[in-house]
């Protein structure tokens, strides 16, 4: 990417703790600017976080994402260069992927290709990991294409599990990895 300043849009569907962590990480960075949060859920806590961080936050519907140019228009209005899916649960349609080739990344709370695909998000993933009696889990950061969790993998980090772990403790371990590595991987991907 040639332009020095890179404007990032963060897509989040719920709590938004990763979105907040990313905004805070780049607060004093002159080149990488998380400048917009987009959410498909009007009740998502990420909206409150955006207000507190003084970042514009726009709500859209799944239908608008699928069937209109609203999202593309917004991304153009904010001169967005790069998109980060941080706990975003809808599929990104092909027309958006085409406009941002290798410029959309997602974090998945498991070691893809295991525990990925439609319906595999958040706590559903951690419950499935527990039920499968996995001895490790982790995070996967990958480029986004128009299929759930299938784009090229950029980064993975593992964490060990014991049979005492619960879906809640697995979620905590995974979130800790996300907070530590996701902003760094964004910075590296944009450098
Ligand atoms: C994160 O653990 C993220 O990896 C996961 O949702 C959580 C959102 O937490 N994403 C997916 O499951 C995508 N398939 P947050 O809203 O507190 O950042």
pLDDT bin (cut points 50, 70, 90) of residue 167 is very high
Answering whether pTM is above 0.75, one says: yes
Q: List, as one string, the DSSP characters of 106-175.
A: EEESS-TTTT-STT--HHHHHHHHHHTT-SEEEEEEEE--SSTT-SPEEEEEEEE--TT--HHHHHHHHH
How close is the Cα of 109 to the center of ligand 1, in Å?
Answer: 6
Q: Which of 11-20, 57-66, 139-148, 152-161 has the lowest mean pLDDT?
A: 139-148
pLDDT at 2 over 80: no
Flag whether pLDDT at 186 surpasses 60.
yes
Superfamily of domain 1-101: Formyl transferase, N-terminal domain (3.40.50.170)
Per-residue confidence (pLDDT) for residue 105, from 0 to 100: 97
User: Ligand 1: which atom is nearest the Cα of residue 18?
Assistant: 18
Q: Using the mean position of ligand 1's atoms as its centre, give its distance from the Cα of residue 86 in Å.
A: 6
The residue whose CA has the least distance to atom 10 of ligand 1 is 87
Tens of pLDDT, residue by residue over 46-99, are: 999 999 999 999 999 999 999 889 999 999 999 999 999 999 999 999 999 999
């Amino acid at each position: 990417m040639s332009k020095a300043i890179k404007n990032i849009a963060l897509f989040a569907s719920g709590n938004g703790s990763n979105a907040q962590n990313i905004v805070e990480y780049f607060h004093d960075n002159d080149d990488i600017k998380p400048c917009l949060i987009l959410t498909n859920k009007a009740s998502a806590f990420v909206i409150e976080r955006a207000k507190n961080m003084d970042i514009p936050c726009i709500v859209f519907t799944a239908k608008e994402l699928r069937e209109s140019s609203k999202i593309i228009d917004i991304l153009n209005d904010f001169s967005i260069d790069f998109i980060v899916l941080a706990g975003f649960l809808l599929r990104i349609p092909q027309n958006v992927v085409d406009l941002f080739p290798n410029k959309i990344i997602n974090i998945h709370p498991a070691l893809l290709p295991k525990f990925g695909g439609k319906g595999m998000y958040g706590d559903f993933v951690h419950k499935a990991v527990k039920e499968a009696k996995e001895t490790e889990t982790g995070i996967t950061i990958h480029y986004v294409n128009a299929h759930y969790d299938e784009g090229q993998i950029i980064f993975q980090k593992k964490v060990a599990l014991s049979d005492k772990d619960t879906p809640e403790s697995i979620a905590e371990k995974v979130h800790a990895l996300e907070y530590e590595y996701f902003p760094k991987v964004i910075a590296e991907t944009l450098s």
